[in-house]
Amino acid sequence: MINDFLDKYKKLFGNDMERLKKIENRNLEKFIDEFIDLFKPSKIFVLTDSEEDRRFLREMALKEREENLLLNKNHTYHFDNYYDQARDKENTRILTPNGEKLPFINTVKRDEGLREIKEIMRGQMKGRTMIIGFFSLGPLDSPLSLKAVQLTDSFYVAHSETILYRTAYNYFLENENVPFMKFVHSQGELDERMTSKNIPKRRIYFDLEDYTAYSVNTQYAGNTVGLKKPAFRLTIGKALREGWLSEHMFLMGVNGPKGRTTYLTGAFPSMCGKTSTCMIPGEKLVGDDLVFMRINDGKPLAINIENGVFGIIDGINEKDDPIIWNVIHSDEEVIFSNVLVSNGKPYWNGMGEQIPEGGENHSGVWWKGKKDKEGKEIPPSHKNARFTVPLSGFKNLDKGALDSKEGVEIGGIIYGGRDSDTWPPVCEAFNWNHGIINKGASIESETTAASLGKEGVRTFNAMSIMEFLSVDLGSYLKNYVEFGKKLKVHPKIFGVNYFLTDGKKFLNEKTDKAVWLKWIELRIHNEVGAIKTPIGFIPKYENLVKLFREVLNKEYSKDDYEAQFSIRVPKLIEKNERIYRIYKDIKTTPTEVFEELERERERLMDLKKNKGELVSPFYFNDLN
């Protein structure tokens, strides 16, 4: 590096100067120079790949009280401000050259947005340390992976990042001018509990021209940990430009007959069963949130770009989630966020243990019955309370797949949402376009606590990326259609719904998804039959009876099957028309979308004419 530039900041760097001097990277110099000048930190810490540095970040997070120790000394807890508990949709914006509107996306004119956020950021690190971290999304030397540099003044954010991602200092050292995405974060002024104070000035802005994400006056990891959701906004754009897929998906291996493993990805909106699906005991976990998929020799190959899990803790209990339960009770490093802490132990809603009536939580000192400023009773832990752990702690981890440079070949893609009355529990699309359009691009989900706003409202959430979308939705879908054209081997596509009700109660147990996965695995290899309906293929009763016995040791009744798999024709038509109207309003929607939706509508209308409104799966059976 040019010594002049670094010499300017000699005092700030101390011994860490040597660490930067060894890296040859023009863009890195410019980047760091600009933001030291803007933030005016009092100190700089350069993160290498050493264990010692990682431990230093954790110690500093403890020293600065961004985290605190629990009884198990490998575990810490962190609180975000009471009003900073989730991703902030309102103040998240994509910078566009002239502030051009994009469907479903908050945008702001690039110059104005940059001016605004930099003004808020000015001088925010006075008296603080700026951490410079080097990371990789995906295995370091994988052709599918991308590199990133994070600037932050939060030891909690940097510490989380070292748990969730691979550090890449040596990579930058060994390779000249590595291209990288940029993440710029300041938690802003803190209150006495060390949480971000200036919530009205919270901003999360994305510059896709320069692959830079900015966030300020927030600590919640979904807004701040650059490589997580900030990176996702940038990589959706990059994938579109370059013709691959950057998706909000888990990656897992499902064990089939004779030792076979079939890899699946799955896209679900937050809190709709994504994590619990890839954590099903007996199957293989690769990742729970973010996937890059590219074509190699006509085959779809995918990697999990993360190295850890930032998971929802609400409702995690020993019986339903034994794998997660074990990890967060082991000596593995864990950060608990926004849980209740009492006598050095973490507690959360639905953990299946007696929860103390007092302690400390995201609202400060907490007692049972405590109300917030709005008069709402405060639960012991926030619904979006989370745990942060390395993947290495999971005994069901498929380490080979996680570290695979080439990625693993994907046999199937699953799309799901929270839907009380329309989709059956599992359904296979007829082909790629039918699947990505009538399943993926048609996801609707009843809203949850993972982002701020009202819960329980049915919301359109194509591919479960709507909260992260940074490009025009029509072009995004066109990229999917084109991706399909380039594939020689197509993964099968499935729609699932774990939340179907009879109007009052859920029709499935939480554990039933293990059966749907086995059925999906067999379908991918054409080893089980299916029934053809207007919306795709659904399982045959006798196959499910067998699978329920094998997988869950449970009897599966005809009544249950009929209640779960009857085709709810009017609801499906209504949904089809809702989705059609949405795409009709988007100028760039590819024609394939309308064709697939129209065909499905016709099939449903025919069925209604011939068989009525609620059609038993046994009716279709008769046709086979």
214 φψ region: left (φ > 0), alpha (ψ -120 to 50), beta (else)? beta
Closer residue to Mn ion in complex, CB, 225/582:
225
Rounded-to-integer distance, Cα 447 and Cα 575, Å: 17
Closer residue to ligand SPV in complex, CB, 476/548:
476
Shortest separation between residue 87's beta carbon and ligand SPV, angstroms: 5
Other C-beta atoms within 10 Å of 47: how many?
24
- Binds 221: which of Mn ion, ligand SPV, none (CB < 5-8 Å by kind): ligand SPV
Shortest separation between residue 239's beta carbon and ligand SPV, angstroms: 18
**Cβ–Cβ < 8 Å for 334, 313:** no
- Binds 434: which of ligand SPV, Mn ion, none (CB < 5-8 Å by kind): none
Rounded-to-integer distance, Cα 534 and Cα 552, Å: 29
Residues 136-195 that bind ligand SPV (CB under 6 A): none
Binding ligand SPV (rule: CB under 6 A), the pick from 84, 283, 289, 314 is 289
Question: Which residue has tokens 């939060």?
Answer: 154
Tokens for 297, please give them.
């020799």
Q: Which residue is nearest to ligand SPV (CB)?
A: 222
Rounded-to-integer distance, Cα 153 and Cα 196, Å: 12
Closer residue to ligand SPV in complex, CB, 440/536:
440
Question: Any idea what the Cα angle at residue 458 is, between residues 452 and 460, rounded to 5°?
Answer: 85
Shortest separation between residue 289's beta carbon and Mn ion, angstroms: 4
Element (H, E) at 257: none
**One-letter amino acid for residue 311 of the chain:** G
Closer residue to Mn ion in complex, CB, 247/289:
289
Rule CB under 6 A: say whether 87 interacts with ligand SPV.
yes
User: 614 in helix, strand or coil?
Assistant: strand
Q: How far is CA 568 from CA 435, 441, 613, in A?
A: 19, 20, 6
**Cβ–Cβ < 8 Å for 95, 110:** yes
Interacting span for ligand SPV (CB under 6 A) from 70-78, 220-228, 294-302, 313-321? 220-228
Closer residue to Mn ion in complex, CB, 289/521:
289
Shortest separation between residue 377's beta carbon and Mn ion, angstroms: 28
Closer residue to ligand SPV in complex, CB, 244/310:
310
> What are residue 281's phi and psi, to 5 degrees?
-55, 140
Rule CB under 6 A: say whether 229 interacts with ligand SPV.
yes
Shortest separation between residue 314's beta carbon and ligand SPV, angstroms: 12
The site map against ligand SPV for 324-363 (x = CB under 6 A) is: ----------------------------------------
The site map against ligand SPV for 250-279 (x = CB under 6 A) is: --------------------x---------
Binding ligand SPV (rule: CB under 6 A), the pick from 310, 476, 499, 556 is 310
Rule CB under 6 A: say whether 246 interacts with ligand SPV.
no
- Binds 450: which of Mn ion, ligand SPV, none (CB < 5-8 Å by kind): ligand SPV
Shortest separation between residue 223's beta carbon and Mn ion, angstroms: 13
Task: Give every CB contact of residue 527 below 8 A, 6+ residues apart in sequence.
Answer: 256, 257
Rule CB under 6 A: say whether 221 interacts with ligand SPV.
yes
**Cβ–Cβ < 8 Å for 401, 427:** no
Q: Which of 559, 471, 464 is nearest to 507 (CA)?
A: 559
Closer residue to Mn ion in complex, CB, 130/302:
302
Shortest separation between residue 238's beta carbon and ligand SPV, angstroms: 19
Q: Which of 216, 265, 2, 242 is nearest to 91 (CA)?
A: 216
Rule CB under 6 A: say whether 233 interacts with ligand SPV.
no
User: 86 in helix, strand or coil?
Assistant: coil
Q: Which residue is nearest to Mn ion (CB)?
A: 289
Residues making contact with Mn ion (CB under 5 A): 289
Tokens for 91, please give them.
């103040």
Tokens for 264, please give them.
């699946």
Interacting span for ligand SPV (CB under 6 A) from 160-168, 221-229, 292-300, 505-513? 221-229
Shortest separation between residue 346's beta carbon and ligand SPV, angstroms: 18
* DSSP string for residues in 137-162: ESSTT-TT-EEEEEEES-HHHHHHHH
Rule CB under 6 A: say whether 387 interacts with ligand SPV.
no
Closer residue to ligand SPV in complex, CB, 222/536:
222
Shortest separation between residue 286's beta carbon and Mn ion, angstroms: 15
Tokens for 152, please give them.
């932050």
Closer residue to ligand SPV in complex, CB, 89/546:
89
Rule CB under 6 A: say whether 61 interacts with ligand SPV.
no
Rule CB under 6 A: say whether 418 interacts with ligand SPV.
no
Binding ligand SPV (rule: CB under 6 A), the pick from 32, 178, 285, 450 is 450
Rounded-to-integer distance, Cα 541 and Cα 535, Å: 17
Tokens for 127, please give them.
């008296």
Q: How far is CA 224 from CA 68, 112, 118, 172, 242, in A?
A: 19, 21, 16, 23, 26
Question: Any idea what the Cα angle at residue 444 is, between residues 439 and 449, rounded to 5°?
Answer: 135
Interacting span for ligand SPV (CB under 6 A) from 29-37, 104-112, 222-230, 542-550? 222-230
- Binds 87: which of Mn ion, ligand SPV, none (CB < 5-8 Å by kind): ligand SPV
Closer residue to Mn ion in complex, CB, 53/306:
306
Shortest separation between residue 313's beta carbon and ligand SPV, angstroms: 12
Rule CB under 6 A: say whether 222 interacts with ligand SPV.
yes
* DSSP string for residues in 524-549: HTT-S--EEETTEEE--HHHHHHHII
**One-letter amino acid for residue 107 of the chain:** T
Q: Is 75 exposed, middle or buried (0-12, 13-18, 19+ CB in 10 A)?
A: buried
Closer residue to ligand SPV in complex, CB, 233/434:
233
Per the DSSP assignment, residues forming a β-bridge with 312 are 386
Rule CB under 6 A: say whether 228 interacts with ligand SPV.
yes
- Binds 222: which of Mn ion, ligand SPV, none (CB < 5-8 Å by kind): ligand SPV
Q: Which of 239, 258, 256 is nearest to 303 (CA)?
A: 239
Q: How many residues bind ligand SPV (CB under 6 A)?
A: 9
Active site residue 278: no
* Catalytic hit among 272, 285, 324, 408: 272
Q: Exposure pattern of 174-211 as b/e (b: 16+ CB <10 Å)? A: eeeebebbbbbbbbbebeeebbbbbbebbbbbbbbeeb
**Catalytic residue numbers?**
272
Site for ligand SPV, rule CB under 6 A? 87, 221-222, 228-229, 270, 289, 310, 450
